[in-house]
A and B are shown apart, each in its own frame.
Chain A
Amino acid sequence: SAVISQKPSRDICQRGTSLTIQCQVDSQVTMMFWYRQQPGQSLTLIATANQGSEATYESGFVIDKFPISRPNLTFSTLTVSNMSPEDSSIYLCSVGLPQLWKQYFGPGTRLTVT
């Protein structure tokens, strides 16, 4: 498994602003994912972060709202843009071991939008 850190761990933001969340892995990984977990809910995949190319977004998520960067094999960022209270969630990054389908998660970023 990999050691995954996220920054910030939590934040309280005003509506209309943007927040960039960082995900750092202690080893090079091919597959990196971003999830959203709304209060009391399960995990919903936002996008796959592809190194050196544009992220692949799931239905219901768009690049303008959730731009993602993946400059190398150990780092990715997710930006939550033009935030509204509905964006209040936990945002999680994960790394995948493709051959085994295993994914390992970071500790999450708890976002509250007021």
Chain B
Amino acid sequence: GQQLNQSPQSMFIQEGEDVSMNCTSSSIFNTWLWYKQDPGEGPVLLIALYKAGELTSNGRLTAQFGITRKDSFLNISASIPSDVGIYFCAGPNSGGSNYKLTFGKGTLLTVNP
């Protein structure tokens, strides 16, 4: 089945630094979703992307739909301690008329105050 590869697996940064992470697929996607999961909580949808080249922001977060349609990027500017969590990318499962999603393995972000 489809696989989404996220990198890096984990990041340790200082408060105030910018963060970049990415997600790649072996197949073309028509939609990319980015989620954040806080410890002990369910994932929260951050950004949805629907068009190659699309750049969408949500506060300090910016996500881009790669022009090859096989990758997506998430950037966080001026990180703060509450940015800590696991960031997942997701996309439509193959044979996707049933609206199922495939999730990447996640990027664990730690922010040192």
Contact A31 B99 (CB under 8 A): yes
Contact A33 B42, CB 8 Å, known A42-B106, A101-B48: no
Contact B41 A101 (CB under 8 A): no
Q: Assess whether B13 is interfacial by the CB under 8 Å rule.
A: no
Interface size class of B (residues with CB under 8 A): 20 to 34
The 8 A CB mask of B87-113 against A (1 = contact, 0 = none) is: 010101100001111011110000000
The A/B interface has a contact count, at CB < 8 Å, of 52
Contact B40 A45 (CB under 8 A): no
Chain A contributes a number of interface residues (CB within 8 A of B) equal to 24
Contact A108 B42 (CB under 8 A): yes
The 8 A CB mask of A85-114 against B (1 = contact, 0 = none) is: 000000010101010111111111010000
12 other A-B residue contacts (CB within 8 Å) besides A43-B43, A102-B45: A42-B88, A42-B103, A45-B93, A45-B100, A45-B101, A96-B99, A98-B99, A102-B33, A102-B48, A103-B101, A104-B45, A108-B40
